[in-house]
């Protein structure tokens, strides 16, 4: 069953149809979210206008962690089942996740200055997110450190699986230690503590960030597959097999597209 969805030709065909619609939905949702959060949502009664940083910071923090979970899952699938698209998905997602993490750190610093009186503190939550950023950079460096792409993919996959221990630390650091960072205010027992007037635009922005990630991920995966196809054509001098219903064609697909 897994090999049925491992065909690069099928992925290219389906993603080519999905990509324009996904891009349009992303632009629409992000546009709505930005207008709502920056111009319509009221200021917070304590934080004032600085609360608007939340509409970028919180979705970026969610995506920073969520993308790493996806990379770890893709790494596991690549190591155990040798799924030909898993390595590509992990490598394509890593720079996007690093970008979200950098946005999270930058906006957190901007938010921390008026709230805490400092641009940066070695708080448990902030430090563990910084570690996550370095894990992204380490994964990217390992994947591209070898002449043999398969060796780089295996090394990066092992780092991704080891680094996943940082995610529970990020999540529960505010509960395990006495930190400056506020505890969970959305996914918490008793429901969100954020007023609905701020929660709704925050939800729209979170959906917009998710759509943006999916659009960028598919775009990067398609680019990586086209690069591998071009490299394979230069090596083998023939097009990649396009048969998608025959399991016998799968080894040739893997050989040409890797």
* Domain boundaries along the sequence of the chain: 2-41+52-257
Q: Find out whether 127 and 120 touch, Cβ atoms under 8 Å.
A: no
CATH number, span 2-41+52-257: 1.20.120
Give residue-wise pLDDT tens across range 1-28. 445 556 888 899 999 999 999 999 999 9
pLDDT for the residue 56: 95
Residues of the chain under the 50 pLDDT cut? 1-2, 241-258
Closest CA to 111 of 170, 171, 51: 51
pLDDT for the residue 239: 53
Residue 92 CB contacts under 8 Å (≥ 6 apart), including other chains: 217, 220, 221, 224
Residue 84 CB contacts under 8 Å (≥ 6 apart), including other chains: 6, 8, 253, 254, 257, 258
User: For the whole model, what pTM was predicted?
Assistant: 0.86
Tokens representing 91 are 């490598």
The neighbour count for residue 250, using CB atoms within 10 Å, is: 17
Name residue 44's beta-bridge partners: 48
pLDDT for the residue 189: 57
CA atoms within 13 A on the CB side of 101: 26
The neighbour count for residue 189, using CB atoms within 10 Å, is: 5
The neighbour count for residue 111, using CB atoms within 10 Å, is: 19
Give the separation between CA 158 and CA 18, rounded to whole angstroms: 31
Residue 88 CB contacts under 8 Å (≥ 6 apart), including other chains: 221, 224, 225
Backbone angles phi, psi at 246, to 5 degrees: -105, 125
């Amino acid at each position: 069953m897994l090999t049925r969805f491992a065909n690069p030709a099928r992925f290219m065909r389906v993603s080519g149809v999905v990509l324009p619609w996904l891009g349009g939905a992303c632009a629409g949702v992000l546009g709505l979210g930005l207008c709502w959060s920056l111009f319509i949502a009221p200021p917070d009664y304590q934080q004032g206008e600085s609360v608007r940083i939340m509409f970028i910071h919180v979705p970026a923090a969610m995506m920073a962690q969520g993308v790493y979970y996806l990379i770890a899952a893709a790494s596991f699938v690549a190591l155990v089942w040798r799924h030909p698209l898993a390595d590509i998905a992990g490598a394509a997602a890593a720079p996007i996740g690093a970008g979200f993490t950098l946005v999270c750190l930058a906006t957190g610093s901007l938010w921390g200055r008026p709230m805490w009186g400092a641009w940066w503190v070695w708080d448990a939550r902030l430090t563990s997110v910084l570690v996550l950023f370095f894990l992204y950079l380490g994964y990217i460096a390992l994947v591209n450190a070898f002449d043999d792409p398969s060796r780089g993919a295996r090394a990066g996959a092992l780092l991704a699986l080891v680094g996943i221990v940082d995610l529970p630390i990020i999540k529960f650091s505010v509960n395990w230690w006495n930190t400056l960072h506020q505890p969970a205010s959305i996914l918490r027992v008793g429901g969100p503590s954020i007023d609905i007037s701020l929660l709704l635009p925050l939800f729209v922005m979170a959906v917009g960030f998710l759509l943006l990630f999916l659009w960028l991920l598919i775009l990067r995966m398609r680019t990586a597959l086209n690069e591998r196809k071009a490299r394979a054509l230069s090596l083998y001098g023939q097009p990649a097999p396009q048969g998608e219903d025959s399991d016998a064609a799968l080894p040739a697909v893997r050989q040409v597209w890797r």
